[in-house]
Amino acid sequence: MLYEDPPIAPQAGSASQNEEDARKELLSRCWPDGRKFCPRCRSQAPYQLAGGRLRCGGCRYTFHDFTGRWLNETGLSALKWTALAQAFAAEQSTREAAASVGISYNTAFKAFTVLRLALLALGADASQLLAPGAPLHPLLDASHTEERDHFPGTGLPVYGLLSRSQHIFVDLLPELTAESVLHFNHNFHLRVIRHGSILITDRYKTYDALILCGDENLPYHYLLRHPGQIFAESGGCPFWDFSRPRLRQFKGLSWRRFPLYLKELALRFNLRDQDLTPTLLAALCAPVPKFA
C-alpha cells in the first residue's frame, strides 16, 4: 500500500513538485485512459468505497489504485517513488539515493530491487527469469532469505550478449551453465576472462560473448588461459566497455541478482542519450506478472 508522506524538497528538473502531482502522474500511467478495472478478474467499472478503495462488482475483490503493480511492493509514497526513479536514472548509489530522498538504506535497497525487477519484467524473457524455479523467482517473495539458497556451483546460469545496430540484447541461455563454459574453455579453446566473480568469454555462435556471475563454489582455478584477446575486450562490444566499470560499483554482486544489474545496464546502454525517468515510472506502474 502507498502511504502519504510529508512533502520532500523536489530535485532539480523534477516534474512532480508535491505529493498530489506525483500521485496524479503515477495514476495517469497506471490508468492511461482513465478507465479502471479489477486486477483480479479484469471486470470493468469497479465502484468507489470510502478511503479511496475500489470494489469489483463481479468478483467482489476490494483494491486500490495501485494494487498489483510494482510500485505497491513498498510502503513508499508517490512523491518518494518519483524521487527514487530520478535518483536511479542519475545512477546514484543506494546510499546516495537514500540520503537524497530521506529514507533508510534498507528501504532504498528494496525499492531499487523492485525497480530492477520491474524493468526486467518488461523483457521477452521475463518468464525465464521470474517464473517458479527460475533464478530470480525467490526475489519476488518478500519472506525469502537469499542467504539460505543452495548455491548451484557449476550449474550457474549463463547469459549471451548480442549487439545489433548500436543496441545490446541480453539473453538467458537456459541450455548453458557455467559447466558448459568450463567445458568449452577446456575442450574447444574458448577464451574466458575472469573479473572478480564475473566470467566473460570470446564470441560464441551469434553472440559477442557469454557472461556469468560465479559463486564461491565455482572452480575458477579450472580455467585454462588461451593466447589472444577476447572480442568484448578488443573494442568489439561497446556495451562491455560501458558495463565493466559500472559492475565494479555494485556491492555484494551475487549470481542471483546478476541478471537484474545486467538488464539494467543494457537498458542504460540502449537509452544512453535519453532521460530514463519516464521509462522507470512506466515500469513501476505496470502490473506485477503472474507466472504459473
Sequence ranges of the domains in the chain: 150-255
Whether pLDDT at 51 is above 90: no
Binning pLDDT at 50, 70 and 90, where does residue 132 land? confident
Give all strands of the β-sheet with 62-63 in edge-to-edge order: 47-48, 54-55, 62-63
- How far is 170 from 258, CA to CA, in rounded Å? 12
Overall average pLDDT of the 228-251 stretch: 92
Structure confidence at residue 10 (pLDDT): 38
pLDDT of residue 269: 97
Give me 90's grid cell: 542519475
- Of 56-65, 95-104, 131-140, 238-247, the poorest mean pLDDT is in 131-140
pLDDT band at 1 (very low <50, low <70, confident <90, very high): very low
pTM: 0.86
Dihedrals φ, ψ of 160, to 5°?
-110, 140
CA atoms of 200 and 202, how far apart (whole Å)? 7
Q: How far is CA 109 from the centre of its chain?
A: 12
The predicted structure's pLDDT at residue 16:
42
What distance in Å separates the CA atoms of residue 48 and residue 193, rounded to the nearest whole number? 59
Q: Are the beta carbons of 118 and 283 closer than 8 angstroms? A: yes
Neighbours of 124 (CB within 10 A): 8
Question: How many whole angstroms separate alpha carbon 189 and alpha carbon 182?
Answer: 10
User: How many Cβ atoms sit within 10 Å of the Cβ of residue 174?
Assistant: 12
The pLDDT assigned to 151 comes to 57
| pLDDT of 211 higher than 60 | yes
Please say if the pLDDT value at position 144 is more than 70.
no
Do residues 157 and 177 touch, judged by C-beta distance below 8 A?
Answer: yes
pLDDT score of 3 more than 80:
no
Q: What is the mean pLDDT of residues 206-230?
A: 94
Interval 146-183: pLDDT, tens? 544 555 678 899 999 999 988 999 999 999 999 999 99
pLDDT surpassing 80 at residue 19: yes
pLDDT > 90 fraction of the chain, expressed in percent and rounded: 72
Residue 272 grid coordinates: 544512453
